[in-house]
Amino acid sequence: GCSGNYHRNQIMRVATEPTFPPFEFQGKDGELAGFSIDLMKAIATAAHFQVEFQSLPFDGIIPALQAKTVDGAISSMTITPERSKTVAFSRPYFKAGLAIAVRRDNQNITNFQSLQNHKIAVQIGTTGAKKAETVRGAEVRSFDSAPLALQELQNGNADAVINDAPVTLYAINTGNLQGIKVIQQLLTEEFYGIATAKNSLDLPLINQGLSTILENGKYQQIYQKWFKS
Ligand code: GLN
C-alpha cells in the first residue's frame, strides 16, 4: 500500500462493490467499469500512483479499510457522521440521494409516510437500508446488491426499494429494469466520498488528485461520459 513514505507509482489497493451501475460494475468483458472506476484511474494518474481494484461486498469495505487489507475504497459510499467515526473520507466527488422505487401500477405508495407497513427491499449496509429501518411497521428485506433488491420489487415480493436515485434511474432509463418507477421527491441529499483508514497517508494524495481533475476538466469529461450521453 501507500502507507509510510510516498513513492511515485506506488500501488494503492482500492476496494469497490461492482454491482452499482453507472458508478461501478463489471462490463461485458468482466472488467470493472463505470464513473467511479474512471474517476479513480484519473485521480491516480493526476497524483502519480497506481491503482489495483479489489471487489468486495459493500458491507465488507469498512472492515477491510480498518484491517488495512485495502488502502482505499470507491464505491458510491455516502459520507456520513457514523462512518466518519471509523474511516476517513476524501472531499465529496458526487451529489446523490435516496429515492423510493415502486412498481409502475402502484398508486398507494407516493411518499415516505406511505411506506408504513409495507415490504421494503434494500442493499445491506447502505444508507437506504438505514432509512428503511426507520419506517414504522415495515418489513425490511436485505440483499447483497441493489440489482437483487430491485429484482425483488419487480417480482412482486417487495412493495418498494430505497436506493440511491442515480442508480435506480439509470437501471430504468437503460431499459434494464422494467415496470418500475421512481417517486419524484428524493428522501435525502447525500455526497459520495472515497474512503480510507483514519489517518491514512493515502488520503491527501487522493484529495490532491481529485482536486487536480476537478480543476483541469478531466472530472467533467468523465461525468459527461456516464451521465450526459
Ligand atoms: N450511497 C449508499 C451508501 O453509501 C449506497 C452505496 C452502494 O450501494 N454502493 O450506503
Q: Could you identify the atom of ligand 1 that is nearest to the CA of residue 146?
A: 8
Q: Which of 80, 126, 130, 192 to mutate to test the pocket of ligand 1 (most atoms within 8 A of CB)?
A: 126
At 1 the pLDDT is: 46
Pocket of ligand 1 from Cβ distances under 6 Å: 17, 20, 58, 75-78, 123, 126-127, 146, 164, 190
- Give the count of beta carbons closer than 10 Å to the beta carbon of residue 138: 18
* Phi, psi angle pair for 74, to nearest 5°: -125, 110
Which residues, other chains included, contact 124 with Cβ-Cβ below 8 Å and sequence gap of 6+?
58, 59, 142, 143, 144
Is the predicted pLDDT of residue 134 greater than 90, yes or no?
Answer: yes
Q: Could you identify the atom of ligand 1 that is nearest to the CA of residue 129?
A: 10
Q: What is the ipTM of this complex?
A: 0.97
pLDDT band at residue 68 under the 50/70/90 scheme? very high
Q: Are 220 and 21 in contact (CB under 8 A)?
A: no
Q: What is the mean pLDDT of residues 105-123?
A: 97
